[in-house]
């Protein structure tokens, strides 16, 4: 029996609601499958802790995660209207991504059969994009400062940092991913017309790496017109590699095009497995619907599926993916973001039931 040690951080807003369904799905899948088992350790890190103790996580939180022998981290979401967003994000998520060198943020975007895209005339075969987002540097490197704060002379500087190693490894990951998963093309999101240092550097490295993969087509496009292309011709996109900020924005757009922000998952990967990787929906804490029990848990459940894949549990991962597809295609149970009336619990339960019936077959 393979045993996996999971850290679960439900976090804020809808985080605890959706993560409950994700964990429940993984646990019942493991029981039904019979080949592996999850040991779960939960952490109450987040805004409530911040308000109580002045920090989102304990001072030794990163060490706890690193030394705890975790095979993966599942995270709900972080963010609360009572605390400025840069405090909550820099108090928990961004430090984990950087400290654990989770330099790949893998974000698949798919229109599932049975789900309606806001784009007229687009079908499941038209929207199937994998975004490979750089996750540790670029625009979110966290370098900068404010001086003369509160005076009329105030200056704010946020420095974008691109390193040769950082750009090369993310571009290489995109090409390797394309090769491994039989995808045909890698599109690089750039802005080298206005950012003449960082993005010209990005383009140069993209071309150098692309030359090593003659079997995979490549192209680059300026981020503004690429955003328009996501809407006008999503079927022309396959794998997209993007910097931290560009990838962040493009994937919320892609999630909306695939039917809901409540569907899109992500894997924050340290491909070398020196540190645990982290799996979470791409959406935030959705304060507008938090506590109502109507959030779509699929993005979190699919993130758990990405974790199964990363752990090497390919059979279980394929089974869960089929259950997600099946329940969406049937269309009987779905949350309000997808036009239905089901609760988070009912939608999660429908997936868990489908998993059980597939295993029984």
**Distance separating alpha carbons of residues 361 and 255, to the nearest angstrom:** 32
Tokens, residue 109: 């975007």
Which x/- pattern, by CB under 6 A, does the window 78-97 give for ligand NAD? xx-----x---x---x----
Q: Report if residue 337 touches ligand NAD, rule: CB under 6 A.
A: yes
Which x/- pattern, by CB under 6 A, does the window 185-224 give for ligand NAD? ----------------------------------------
Q: How far is the CB of 81 from ligand NAD (least distance, A)?
A: 7
Tokens, residue 332: 């009987």
Residue 94's H or E segment, with its range, is: helix 94-99
Nearer to Mn ion, 21 or 248 (CB): 248
- From ligand NAD, Mn ion, none, which one binds at residue 152 (CB under 5 to 8 Å depending on kind)? none
Q: Which residue has the tokens 């002379």?
A: 153
Tokens, residue 61: 């939180």
**Distance separating alpha carbons of residues 3 and 104, to the nearest angstrom:** 25
Q: Which of 129, 170, 186, 299 contacts ligand NAD by CB under 6 A?
A: 299
Q: Which residue has the tokens 């687009």?
A: 122
- From Mn ion, ligand NAD, none, which one binds at residue 288 (CB under 5 to 8 Å depending on kind)? ligand NAD
Which x/- pattern, by CB under 5 A, does the window 237-266 give for Mn ion? -----------x------------------
**Distance separating alpha carbons of residues 170 and 166, to the nearest angstrom:** 7
User: How big is the chain by its Cα radius of gyration, in Å?
Assistant: 20
Nearer to Mn ion, 277 or 352 (CB): 277
What does the chain come to in residues? 361
**Distance separating alpha carbons of residues 250 and 189, to the nearest angstrom:** 9
Nearer to Mn ion, 93 or 323 (CB): 93
Output DSSP code: residue 7. E
Q: How far is the CB of 316 from ligand NAD (least distance, A)?
A: 23
Q: How far is the CB of 162 from Mn ion (least distance, A)?
A: 20
**Distance separating alpha carbons of residues 238 and 182, to the nearest angstrom:** 10
Instruction: Give the number of other Cβ atoms within 10 Å of residue 32's Cβ.
Output: 16
Q: How far is the CB of 29 from ligand NAD (least distance, A)?
A: 20
Tokens, residue 64: 């706890």
Tokens, residue 49: 């802790």
Q: Report if residue 284 touches ligand NAD, rule: CB under 6 A.
A: yes
Q: Which of 23, 199, 295, 323 contacts ligand NAD by CB under 6 A?
A: 295
- Residues near Mn ion (CB under 5 A): 248
- Residues near ligand NAD (CB under 6 A): 14, 18, 77-79, 85, 89, 93, 261-262, 280, 283-289, 295-296, 299, 337
């Amino acid at each position: 029996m393979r045993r996996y040690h999971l850290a679960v951080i439900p976090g804020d807003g809808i985080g605890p609601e959706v993560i409950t369904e994700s964990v429940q799905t993984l646990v019942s899948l493991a029981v039904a499958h019979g080949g592996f088992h999850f040991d779960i350790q939960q952490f109450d890190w987040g805004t409530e802790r911040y308000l109580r103790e002045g920090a989102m996580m304990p001072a030794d939180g990163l060490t706890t995660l690193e030394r705890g022998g975790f095979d993966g981290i599942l995270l709900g979401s972080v963010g609360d209207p009572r605390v400025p967003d840069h405090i909550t994000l820099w108090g928990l998520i961004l430090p984990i991504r950087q400290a654990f060198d989770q330099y790949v943020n893998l974000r698949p975007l798919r229109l599932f059969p049975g789900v309606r895209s806001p784009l007229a005339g687009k079908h499941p075969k038209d929207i199937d994009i994998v975004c490979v987002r750089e996750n540790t540097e670029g625009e979110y490197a966290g370098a900068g400062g404010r001086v003369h704060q509160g005076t009329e002379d105030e200056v704010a500087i946020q420095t974008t940092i691109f390193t040769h190693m950082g750009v090369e490894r993310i571009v290489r990951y995109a090409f390797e991913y394309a090769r491994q998963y039989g995808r045909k093309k890698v599109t690089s999101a750039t802005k080298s017309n206005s950012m003449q240092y960082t993005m010209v550097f990005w383009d140069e490295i993209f071309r150098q790496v692309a030359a090593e993969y003659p079997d995979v087509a490549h192209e680059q496009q300026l981020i503004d017109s690429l955003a328009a292309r996501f809407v006008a011709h999503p079927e022309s996109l396959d794998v997209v590699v993007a910097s931290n900020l560009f990838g962040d924005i493009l994937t919320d757009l892609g999630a909306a095009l695939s039917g809901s922000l409540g569907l899109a998952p992500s894997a924050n990967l340290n491909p070398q497995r020196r540190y645990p990787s982290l799996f979470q929906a791409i959406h935030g804490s959705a304060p507008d619907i938090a506590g109502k029990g109507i959030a779509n848990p699929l993005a979190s459940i699919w993130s758990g599926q990405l974790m199964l894949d990363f752990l090497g549990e390919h059979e279980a991962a394929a089974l869960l993916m089929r259950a997600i597809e099946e329940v969406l295609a049937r269309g009987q149970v779905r949350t309000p973001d997808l036009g239905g009336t089901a609760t988070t619990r009912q939608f999660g339960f429908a997936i868990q039931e489908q998993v059980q019936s597939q295993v029984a077959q």
